[in-house]
Amino acid sequence: MDIKQKILEKIQQDNMTPIPAWRFWIQGSGLWVLSGLLLILGAFGVASILYIVTKNDWDIFSEIHESKFTHIISTLPYLWLCLFAIMLVLLYIDIKHTKHGYRYTAFVVVIGVVGASIAFGIGLHLMGFGQKIDSIIATKDPQHAHLFNPRLQALSRPDKGILTGRVTIIEFTAPTGKIYVENPILGGRWIIIIQPTTILPDDGIRINDRIRALGEDIGDQQFLAHIILPFNTLGLGPQWKHRDVDDEETSFAPHPIPLF
């Protein structure tokens, strides 16, 4: 019996039929849906990295680390970078397994996935998603937020004169007062003491704001503040120092703290 006859008979005997088209369609579409999801996740990673890098305490880095280089190395968002790298590898594998993925060289696919993730990530960052993600992590999982945003760790060093936290209570009677902040890395509540000479943020301080304070640890989870800054500043330089020179008289006067 020739092979053609054998094959046709086997098909008939076993009642074989071609695998339905919808299965291949689901398989093909599934790979593209997965690629899309991985691209979105990677882009959220990029948005978070951009947010963390652009708001990386460039105004006070000299108070935190010895040099700009040490500051950059110590506060790079390594976890986000790792997650982004994993997303890229998965996206690369996924695209290579799509129907026509084999046609593109590794170089083209890598440039494509990195370029698309970064472009999409920049868009998300500009829409404020990077900050939103950081804020969600800090609220939902404060114990591990510093793993995603290492600047939280760098800013939680009262022994070095730096403290950060989320404002829970404000007790202010001009020209002095107390601000209670929550800092999970430092084991909970800290009291920031405001003196008449403390420089306060221009926009004031509100409940639930995250703030940064430069000053000194005076024990019992109390911190004597010399300067209080908003958690995020766009400036790349130490603006509070300029203010100190330009308007010495008023800069040391306490600013009103709106209680919202």
Partner 1 sequence: MYTFFMTVYTEHTDESLASIAIDNHDAFGVLIGRYEQKLYRYVRRITDASHEECEDILQEIFLKTYRYLHNFDPSLSFSSWIYSIAHNETISHFRKRSVRPHTIREEDGGIYLKNIEADLDMAKELDRAQLQIQVKEVLKKLGPKYKDILILRYLEEKSYQEISDILKLPVKTVGTRINRAKKQLHQVLTEEPLVTP
Give the binding site for partner 1 (CB under 8 A). Answer: 3-4, 6-8, 10-12, 16, 18-21, 23-24, 99, 102-105, 108
CA–CA separation, 121 and 98 (whole Å)? 23
User: What's the CA gap between 177 and 192, in Å, rounded?
Assistant: 8
- Residue 33 Cβ vs partner 1, minimum distance, rounded to whole Å: 18
Residues 57 and 47: their CA atoms lie apart, in Å, by 17
- Quote the least distance from Cβ 206 to partner 1, whole Å: 57
State the nearest-atom distance from the C-beta of 94 to partner 1, in Å: 15
Q: How many CB atoms lie within 10 A of CB 35?
A: 21
CB-based burial of residue 250 (10 Å sphere; 0-12 exposed, 13-18 middle, 19+ buried)? exposed
Q: Beta strands 176-183 and 162-173: pairing type?
A: antiparallel
CB 162 within 8 A of CB 185: no
- β 210-219/176-183 pair status: unpaired
Cβ closest to partner 1, residue 12 vs residue 250: 12
Q: Is the dihedral of CA 8, 13, 18, 19 positive or negative?
A: negative
> Quick one: which H or E segment has residue 182?
strand 176-183
| 28 vs 235, beta carbon nearer partner 1 | 28
- Shorter beta-carbon distance to partner 1: residue 13 or 143: 13
Q: Output the smallest distance, CB 188 to partner 1, in A.
A: 57
Cα angle for residues 9, 15, 19 (degrees, 5° grid):
115
85, two tokens: 């790298």
CB closer to partner 1 out of 105 and 250: 105
Q: Position 211: which residue type?
A: I
Cα separation, 87 vs 38, whole angstroms: 6
Question: Residue 5 or residue 173: which is nearer to partner 1 going by CB?
Answer: 5
Nearer to partner 1, 14 or 248 (CB): 14
Calpha distance 194→173 (Å, rounded): 10
CB of residue 103 to partner 1, shortest distance in Å: 6
Closer CB to partner 1, residue 102 or residue 260?
A: 102
Q: How far is the CB of 27 from partner 1 (least distance, A)?
A: 9
Rounded least distance, CB 23 to partner 1, Å: 8
